[in-house]
């Protein structure tokens, strides 16, 4: 937001002067979904939005979207831009705000997206200051926005400069036809097929592996158990890395896998859903060994492909790892974020 512009008060929805701005209502959602479809037709993003998703998010009791989202209309009354801050419940210890921004391609030359970035960040901080008055001992505020790396939203975030790139996400796939890589784990490390007795140790290892990444959420025991109980979960296709000298000391790496099946063709892909190595054990080839073992499990079950969803704060190193194992990478999504005291 430009320094000469007044900061919006808690009750104001004005973002800039070229559009007519108002707070989002539930009746606006079908038109916002149409705007998203128009944006996606041009940009072909990795993430897509649907009306059903928006309605569920709007209806969450803690969302208060009427205070945290705005729409901009042209002179004909058509919604051509929007911003939506998705907040965590105000009683959470570590408040987060996820920003969502969209501008119709025909209106991007007005720099509306850049203005929406500024409005969204200030709106999030206004909300934080509001709850800080009632709960002065809560944690610092984290604000983030995930978008395609080459998108206009990413360009606007970079131009604004308040949030910086923190994590990258991309999917990767490889064929299971032909010879598969054989990777032997380093001395002192043993690979084992996942067993339920290790479930809690794997959850703890997962949380430890991602603990230093901004915006990462601690996975609770309930959420972990629910993910392993899904119909597509395949614990018996999953692999763990343990210390041979002391297997009871804990899990040092893991690849928790599932199955993607096309109901019409029967085509299947083995999918690595959670993958990580504890920081002190990285750089030894444990990750490669876990991926190679997973590929063989997939191939033995008749899968055509191996796939993985990657979440990393070191994108170049991650690309080297997965491309070196024969994966073909999809476009990257980048997470911009920052932490605020007020």
pLDDT for position 3: 35
Q: Are strands 305-312 and 268-277 parallel, antiparallel or unpaired?
A: parallel
Mean pLDDT of the chain: 92
| Average pLDDT over every residue of 41-50 | 92
Which residues neighbour 178 within 8 Å (Cβ) at sequence distance 6 or greater?
A: none
Distance of CA 264 to the CA centre of its chain: 29
Distance between CA atoms of residues 69 and 48, nearest Å = 18
Instruction: Convert the pLDDT of each residue in 73-119 to its tens digit.
Output: 999 999 999 999 999 998 888 899 999 999 999 999 899 999 999 99
Instruction: Please report the domains of the chain, with CATH numbers, ordered by start residue.
Output: 20-162 (3.40.630.30), 169-332 (3.40.630.30)
Span 241-264, pLDDT tens digits:
999 877 666 899 999 999 999 888
Comparing CA positions, the residue from 272, 277, 287 lying closest to residue 321 is 287
What is the per-residue DSSP string for 42-111? HH--SS---HHHHHHHHHSTTT-HHHHEEEEE-TTS-EEEEEEEEEPPTTSSS-EEEEEEEE-GGGGGGT
Per-residue pLDDT tens over the stretch 263-285: 888 899 999 999 999 999 999 99
- Give the pair of three-digit tokens for residue 222: 């309930």
> Residue 145: how many CA atoms within 13 Å on its side-chain side?
30
Decide the pairing of beta strands 69-73 and 79-87.
antiparallel
Nearest alpha carbon to residue 163 among 227, 225, 99, 216: 99
Q: Percentage of the chain with pLDDT > 70?
A: 95
Secondary structure of residue 253 in the 3-state scheme: strand
Cβ 251 vs Cβ 205: under 8 Å: yes
For residue 211, CA distances in Å to 58, 216, 278, 287 come to 30, 7, 10, 18
Q: Decide if pLDDT at 8 tops 50.
A: no
Structure tokens at 253: 């790496």
pTM attached to this predicted model: 0.82
With a cut of 90, say whether residue 174 has pLDDT above it: yes
Query: Containing H/E element for 316?
Result: helix 315-324
The residue that leads in pLDDT, 31 or 94, is 31
Query: Across residues 140-166, what is the average pLDDT?
Result: 96
More confident residue, 203 or 10: 203
């Amino acid at each position: 937001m430009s320094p000469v512009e007044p900061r919006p008060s808690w009750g104001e929805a004005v973002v800039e002067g070229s559009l007519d701005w108002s707070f989002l209502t539930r009746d606006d959602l079908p038109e916002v979904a149409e705007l998203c479809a128009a944006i996606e037709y041009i940009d072909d993003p990795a993430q897509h939005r649907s009306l059903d998703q928006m309605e569920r998010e709007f209806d969450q009791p803690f969302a208060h979207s009427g205070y945290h989202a705005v729409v901009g209309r042209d002179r004909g009354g058509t919604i051509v831009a929007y911003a939506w801050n998705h907040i965590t419940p105000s009683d959470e210890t570590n408040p987060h705000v996820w920003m969502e921004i969209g501008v119709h391609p025909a209106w991007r030359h007005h720099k509306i997206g850049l203005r929406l970035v500024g409005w969204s960040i200030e709106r999030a901080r206004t909300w934080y200051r509001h709850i800080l008055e009632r709960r002065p001992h809560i944690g610092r505020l984290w604000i983030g926005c995930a978008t395609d790396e080459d998108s206009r939203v990413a360009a606007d975030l970079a131009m604004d400069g308040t949030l910086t790139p923190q994590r990258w996400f991309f999917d990767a796939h490889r064929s299971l036809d032909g010879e598969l890589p054989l990777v032997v784990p380093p001395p002192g490390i043993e690979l084992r097929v996942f067993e339920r007795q290790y479930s809690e140790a794997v959850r703890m290892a997962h949380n430890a592996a991602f603990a230093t990444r901004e915006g990462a959420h601690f996975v609770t025991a309930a959420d972990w158990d629910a993910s392993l109980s899904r119909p597509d979960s395949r614990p018996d296709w999953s692999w763990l890395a343990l210390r041979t000298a002391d297997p009871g000391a804990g899990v040092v790496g893991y690849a928790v896998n599932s199955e993607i099946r096309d109901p019409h063709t029967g085509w299947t892909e083995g999918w690595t859903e959670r993958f990580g190595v504890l920081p002190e054990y990285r750089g030894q080839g444990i990750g490669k060994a876990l991926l190679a073992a997973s590929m063989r499990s997939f191939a033995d079950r008749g899968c055509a492909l191996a796939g993985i969803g990657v979440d990393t704060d070191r994108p170049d190193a991650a690309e080297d790892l997965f491309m070196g194992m024969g994966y073909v990478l999809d476009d990257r999504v980048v997470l911009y974020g920052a932490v605020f005291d007020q």
